[in-house]
Amino acid sequence: MRIAVCDDEKYFRDTIFEEINAFYQSLDVLCLPFASGAELIAAFEKGQRFDAVFLDIEMPPPDGMETARRLHEFSAELPVIFLTSHTELAMDGYEVGAFRFLQKPVVSEKLTQALKDIGQLCDRKKTVCIKENGEEHYISPDDIIYAEADNNSVRFITAEREYQMRMKITEALTMLDTASDSFCRVHRSVIVNLAHIISRSDREVRLDNGIVLPVSKSYGDELKKRLMDHIRLNER
């Protein structure tokens, strides 16, 4: 699970960040702090995705409301937990899809409950539904090794078999990102499950099923960063 904490006030940002890490302890959770809405939006523009965002409402432009609107352009169902000292702003927050409001200073019990609810929400999203020849196949994202564009469809390759679904590669990436944080686009037509990479170079990745796939220069830096994050998480 990946969680972002965005607050321009260092004290509140660090407090939430530390409490989230203390709550999850050794679980596979990566929590990243951001000091402004612009910084967080830039991360999304570079391809980073999160399972939940803790977002201060009152920040220099773009404020929390505008930041939430921008983030939902990248991830429509992203749970946003607003942090605010003014509860009267809550109604405005619901207009931009607020998942929860936490009043500053945040009470630990309320933060804990919000994290539990996020966990339950993420658990419900962890199955990928692939529709093929009128049938719906429900697959664990861990089983998908990679996905590749094929004309107007996308092929999803697992160790057992291959599935094909009529969709764009960008739609496939959105679907996979919703189910797991382990997928990374490495080429305009290829998405790879980071957990199945056994080696990487500037031009290609080798997967644990023996397949070698190309890496485009434009996706190389993001792949390197995402792979390092993935390895760090799984060493915990």
The model's pLDDT over 31-55, given as tens digits with 9 standing for 90+, comes to: 999 999 999 999 998 888 888 999 9
**pLDDT reported for residue 201:** 92
Q: Where in the chain is the domain with CATH 3.40.50.2300?
A: 2-124
Decide which of 23 and 236 is more confident: 23
> Is the model more confident about 95 or about 216?
216
- pLDDT (0 to 100) of residue 56: 93
Which of 105-144 are b and which e, b meaning 16 or more Cβ less than 10 Å from the residue's Cβ? Answer: ebeeeebeebbeebbeebeeeeebebeeeeeebebebeeb
Q: According to the CATH classification, is domain 128-234 in 3.30.1330.60?
A: no
pLDDT in tens, 49-61: 888 999 999 999 9
Q: What is the pTM of this model?
A: 0.56
Cβ 192 vs Cβ 186: under 8 Å: yes
Taking the CA atoms of residue 144, residue 183, residue 50 and residue 66 in that order, the dihedral angle to the nearest 10 degrees is -120
Beta pairing, strands 128-132 & 204-207? unpaired
Of 126-130, 191-195, 229-233, the poorest mean pLDDT is in: 229-233
Nearest alpha carbon to residue 146 among 214, 74, 202: 214
- Tell me the mean pLDDT in the region 86-95: 56
Q: What is the CATH number of domain 2-124?
A: 3.40.50.2300
What is residue 236's predicted lDDT score, i.e. its pLDDT?
A: 39
CA separation for the pair 67, 110 (Å, rounded): 23
Question: Rounded mean pLDDT of 133-154?
Answer: 92
- Cβ distance 187 to 205 under 8 Å? no
166: amino acid identity, one letter: R
